[in-house]
Amino acid sequence: MDITYEATYDTAYYDHGTPAERWERAQLFFGARDYAAAARVLAGLVEEVPEQTGPRLLLARAYYHSAQLRRAEAELRVIVERDPVEHYARLMLGRTLERQGRHEEAGPHLRIASALAGDFPEA
């Protein structure tokens, strides 16, 4: 099999089907812990429906779990910019920054996530 055919087949597999079918396929990959494959499906889906938070958040999680931390950070920042009170995106952004050793930057996001979840420190 030549490389051109293989690349075309590979791309066609990840991009094949309706958005709903690709969303389902991505969730199956994610559930099977094949985060890189989930990310490949989700990247195309996010490009197609950039306004939807669900696919972008799952893409960020797939990037996080496959140690593509800069990509995870970029997706999470888009979500937080659009919806500053998106609790889980804030939490994931904080954890992503922590995992990169950027603890000072992570702190505010983690505190906001805790406040949004109602986790207030006892006085």
pLDDT of residue 52: 94
Let me know if residue 61 belongs to a domain.
yes
Let me know if residue 30 belongs to a domain.
yes
- Among residues 51, 46, 48, the alpha carbon closest in space to that of 60 is found at 46
Q: Which pTM value belongs to this model?
A: 0.84
Q: What is the DSSP string of 47-94?
A: HHSTT-HHHHHHHHHHHHHTT-HHHHHHHHHHHHHH-TT-HHHHHHHH
Through-space distance between the first and last CA atoms of the chain, rounded to whole angstroms: 66
Number of domains in the chain: 1
CB count within 10 Å of CB 16 equals 12
pLDDT of residue 121: 60
Q: What is the pLDDT along the chain (123 residues), one digit of tens a residue?
A: 455 444 444 556 677 888 899 999 999 999 999 999 999 999 999 999 999 999 999 999 999 999 999 999 999 999 999 999 999 999 999 999 999 999 999 999 999 999 998 876 655
Let me know if residue 95 belongs to a domain.
yes
The domain that holds 57 is classified in CATH as: 1.25.40.10
Let me know if residue 122 belongs to a domain.
no
Domain coverage including residue 8: 3-117
Let me know if residue 123 belongs to a domain.
no
Q: Return the structure tokens found at 64.
A: 């996080």
